[in-house]
Amino acid sequence: MLKVNGIDVYYGKVQALFDVSIEVGDREIVSIIGANGAGKTTLMKSIMGINKPKNGTIEYNGQVISGLPPHKVVSKKIVYIPEGREIFPNMTVQENLEMGAYSVKLSKAEMERHLEEQYEIFPRLKERAKQKAGSMSGGEQQMLAIARGLMSDPELLMLDEPSLGLAPVIVDDMFDVIVRVNKVRNIPIAIVEQNAFMAMSISDRTYVLEVGNLVTHGESKTLMDSDEIKKAYLGG
């Protein structure tokens, strides 16, 4: 479905990604793990068109999408839930959700149905529908970010550090939701995480990034048993 073919990405003169290739197939969950500064977020932003790769291409369903501006990428039904939530703090929870559906044309009834769907998955958001999004806790804001992403019926969902700054109990909930979205909606999910154990245990395949280079990739189960990965990312 999504194919990243050997991209080089620069911030000014500093190269952030070196010849990185990944692939996300139909229905699978793919995790991308690595330490701080490994280039995980850069990779996501390059797919979304926020960063432009200098070399290499990005293909989605056979079409080249590298070089398109972000709003055009979104219109291909690729949704990226950025690191640190990036919700609209001064808008209400419901307005945030409605903006999630900006790229698709929905009638009033359809909008209601989409909102109800999100409220079913995230009941906390329903209680807070009329509240300013910025007044919610970090976990609730993360829920909102995911719900907002789902409003446009994505065909590929990419999550950036969904567990960042959340209490351990909430992290479990979060990953449950991600797996459920993958199963119920039958859409592929790419997930970038520092919490390597969590990400690997819910994903089918894993890519490992180190300072801008792809060092290894494979089935998550196999990788979790490899000594190197255990040592570097899973704490022993």
CA 163 to chain centre: 11
The nearest distance, CB 95 to other proteins, in angstroms, is: 7
Site pattern 152..181 for other proteins (x: CB under 8 A):
x-----------------------------
User: 171 with 188: CB under 8 angstroms?
Assistant: no
Nearer Cβ to other proteins, position 144 or 198? 144
Task: Give least dist CB 166 to other proteins, A.
Answer: 19
Pairing of strands 29-33, 189-193: parallel
Which residue stretches of 65-106 are H helix? 70-75, 93-100
110 is an interface residue for other proteins by CB under 8 A: no
SS3 134: helix
Q: For residue 65, give the nearest of 143, 5, 148, 144 by alpha carbon.
A: 5
Under the criterion CB under 8 A, does residue 80 sit at the interface with other proteins? yes
Site for other proteins in 22-61 (CB under 8 A): 48, 50
Task: Please state, in angstroms and as integers, the Cα–Cα distance from residue 21 to each residue in 91, 178, 195, 206, following that order.
Answer: 38, 24, 22, 13
Closest approach of other proteins to the CB of residue 98, in Å: 7
67 scored as a contact of other proteins (CB under 8 A): no
Q: How far is the CB of 218 from other proteins (least distance, A)?
A: 30
List 86, 127, 172, 176, residue binding other proteins (CB under 8 A): 86
